[in-house]
Amino acid sequence: MNMFITGGSGRMGSEIIPRLQTRGWKIIAPSSREVSITDLDALTRAVDQAQPNVVLHLAAYTDVAKAEQDHAACYTANVLGSRNVARASAGARLVHISTDYVFDGESGMYKETDAPNPSNYYSLTKALGEEAARAAPNSLIVRTSFKDAVWKYPMAFADQYTSADYTDVIASELELLLIHLEAVDTDVLHLVTERKSILELAQRRNPHVQAGTRVGAKVHIPPDVSLDNSRWLAFKSQFSHQA
C-alpha cells in the first residue's frame, strides 16, 4: 500500500504512521512547511509524485474555542484545505477524518444517515469540509474523536457525553479500517467506541480527575455528541480476527 497523509505530525498521525510502516506500507507524510494543504498547486504536485493508493486527510484546525475568534484560519484549513485535498486526490481513495462535532449534541447516538447540524464555528467548518471531501471520487468520511493518551487536566465534563476514546485506541480501529479499506462500501462511517461521559473517559487513565460542567466554557459545548457505531462494529466483526 502506498499512502499520502496530511497532518502526519499531529496526534493521530504520530500514532498511526508507525503502525502502518510496521506493516511495510510506504507512507508519504510531508510536514505543513513542506506542503501546505492551502496551496493547491504544491499539494497536487506532491500527491502526483507520490502516486498513492490512498490519501488519508488528518490535517485540520482543531482548537474549538479559538476558532470562534479566528474564523479565517479555521475556515482556510478545514474547508479550503479539505477542498484542495479532495481535488489533489483524483486517482486515489480519499479517507477524510471528520468529527462528532458536526452534530449539535441535543440527542446523541447519531447515525451516519443523520443530517449534520453544527453548533459552533469549528463544527461548521468541519461539516463544510465533509461536503468538500465528497467531491473526490469514492471518498470515505470517517467521523471520530480522540484524546491525548494521557489525560492532562484536573477536570473533565460530567455533563457531556461522547463516543470518543484515546488516540491509541482509535488508532487501532483506524488501522483495521485502512487494512481492509477495499471492503468498505459506504461513504460515511462512525469510527468510535461506546457512549460515556467525558469524565468517565478521563478517569479511565487518571482516576484523580474531578467532575466539571459545561457551564462557563468559553465556547458552546454540545451536551451529547455520541455516535452510533453499529455500522463500524458490523464491519469490524468480519476482519478483527485477521488484524
C-alpha cell at 192: 468510535
Q: What are phi and psi of 4, to 5 degrees?
A: -105, 130
pLDDT of residue 123: 97
Contact 83, 122 (CB under 8 A): no
pTM listed for this prediction: 0.96
Domain ranges of the chain: 2-145+166-191+228-242
> Which residues lie across from 196 on neighbouring strands?
162
The CA distance from 165 to 204, in Å, is: 10
Contact 38, 77 (CB under 8 A): yes
Which positions ≥6 away from 18 have C-beta within 8 Å? none
The CATH class of the 2-145+166-191+228-242 domain is alpha beta
Instruction: Enumerate the active-site residues.
Output: 122
DSSP code per residue over 50-82: H--SEEEE------HHHHTT-HHHHHIIIIIHH
Contact 79, 123 (CB under 8 A): no
pLDDT of residue 243: 52
Could you state, in chain order, the average pLDDT of each consecutive group of 10 residues for the chain (243 residues)?
Answer: 96 98 97 97 98 98 96 98 97 97 97 97 98 95 97 96 98 97 96 98 97 90 97 90 58
pLDDT of residue 239: 82
